[in-house]
């Protein structure tokens, strides 16, 4: 299978955050597979849109912050079991909660994410905490436009994972994004609406043909308000 690295067309973007400077390195963490694409014009459009609408900030938090966040996440899940029978089969081997309050040091991280990603736009006050067991996965889906605006961001904790985006109109356009643990990704606009997204299971998690060790993986997800676009 031919995989085209797209780093050559992706400029480096930097954003001045409150605490530090974060640099988008999605170009070295994604592959675009168009082997079975049906329309070269669409492929050209996708090459452009992934450079602006799919971002990855590596080492967004440090190991101490990671540990502090995970302590609070583990406390929230103390009495919750993993579920393997989601009603629409979109997700397996998971537990989830929505948190409105965090310990001050964790709240600070959540606020930095909001500031950097949403830049003052209204976003849900809730953080969706999603815990995938080692054998868990998220099947392809598009987040409901009823509850989520144009931007979704996730902080990837505990384990690396591969996120896959498949074009709604052409299943032959496939983008894989490698999410190292402690990284923050952002999907927005075309990638959010015109592609399904999924988090691959352990057995099918490959990056550049090498298996990715998928263990238990937690994501902290923030979404902007659909009202913001009206
Ligand atoms: C979701 C989802 C992605 C992630 O919960 O809708 O796509 O990174 N999660 O966990
Ligand atoms: Mn989703």
pLDDT 10s digits, 210-227 = 999 999 999 999 999 987
Query: Which of 7 and 53 is assigned the larger pLDDT?
Result: 53
User: What's the gap in Å between 191 CA and the centre of ligand 1?
Assistant: 14
Q: Read off the pLDDT band of 156 (50, 70, 90).
A: very high
Count Cβ atoms below 10 Å from residue 90 Cβ, excluding itself: 13
Query: Stretch 163-184: mean pLDDT, rounded?
Result: 97
In this predicted structure, what is the pLDDT of residue 17?
40
Q: What is the structure's pLDDT at 86?
A: 73
Q: Which helix (H) or strand (E) holds 192?
A: helix 189-194
Query: Closest residue (by CA) to atom 5 of ligand 1?
Result: 130
Choose the residue to mutate in 138, 148, 198 for probing ligand 1, maximizing ligand atoms within 8 Å of C-beta.
138
Pocket flag, ligand 1, residue 130 (CB < 6 Å): yes
Q: Residue 9 — pLDDT band, cuts 50, 70, 90?
A: very low
Within 35-174, where are the H helices?
Answer: 40-53, 63-76, 104-118
Are the CB atoms for 95 and 80 separated by under 8 Å? yes
Determine the average pLDDT of the residues in 197-207. Answer: 96
Position 13 scores a pLDDT of 37
Does residue 1 carry a pLDDT above 90? no
Angle at CA of residue 116, ends 111 and 120, nearest 5°: 75
Residue 181: the pLDDT is: 95
Please give the distance, rounded to the nearest whole angstrom, from the Cα atom of residue 154 to the centre of ligand 2. Answer: 10
For residue 38, the number of C-alpha atoms closer than 13 Å in the C-beta half-sphere is 6
Residue range 177-199, pLDDT digits in tens: 999 999 999 999 999 999 999 99
* 172: region left, alpha or beta (phi > 0 left; psi from -120 to 50 alpha): alpha
Q: What is the pLDDT of residues 132-147, one digit of tens each?
A: 999 999 999 999 999 8
**pLDDT for res 87:** 72
Structure tokens at 90: 């979109």
* Alpha carbon of 86 to ligand 1 centroid (Å): 14
pLDDT in tens, 52-75: 999 999 999 999 999 999 999 999
């Amino acid at each position: 299978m031919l995989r085209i690295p797209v780093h050559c067309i992706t400029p480096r973007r930097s954003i001045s955050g409150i605490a530090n400077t974060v640099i988008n390195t999605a170009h070295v963490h994604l592959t675009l597979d168009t082997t079975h694409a049906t329309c070269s014009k669409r492929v050209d459009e996708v090459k452009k849109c992934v450079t602006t609408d799919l971002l990855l900030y590596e080492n967004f938090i440090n190991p101490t912050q990671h540990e502090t966040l995970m302590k609070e996440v583990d406390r929230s899940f103390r009495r919750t079991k993993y579920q393997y029978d989601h009603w629409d089969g979109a997700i397996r081997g998971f537990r989830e909660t929505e948190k409105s309050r965090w310990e001050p040091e964790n709240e600070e991280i959540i606020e930095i994410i909001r500031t950097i990603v949403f830049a003052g736009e209204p976003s849900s006050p809730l953080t969706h905490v999603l815990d995938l067991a080692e054998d868990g996965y998220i099947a392809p889906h598009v987040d409901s436009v009823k509850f989520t605006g144009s931007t979704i961001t996730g902080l990837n904790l505990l384990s690396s994972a591969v996120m896959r985006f498949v074009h709604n109109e052409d299943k032959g356009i496939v983008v894989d994004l490698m999410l190292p643990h402690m990284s923050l990704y952002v999907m927005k606009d075309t990638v959010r609406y015109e592609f399904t997204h999924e988090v691959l299971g352990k057995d099918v998690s490959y990056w550049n043909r090498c298996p990715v060790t998928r263990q238990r993986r937690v994501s902290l997800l923030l979404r902007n308000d659909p009202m913001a676009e009206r």
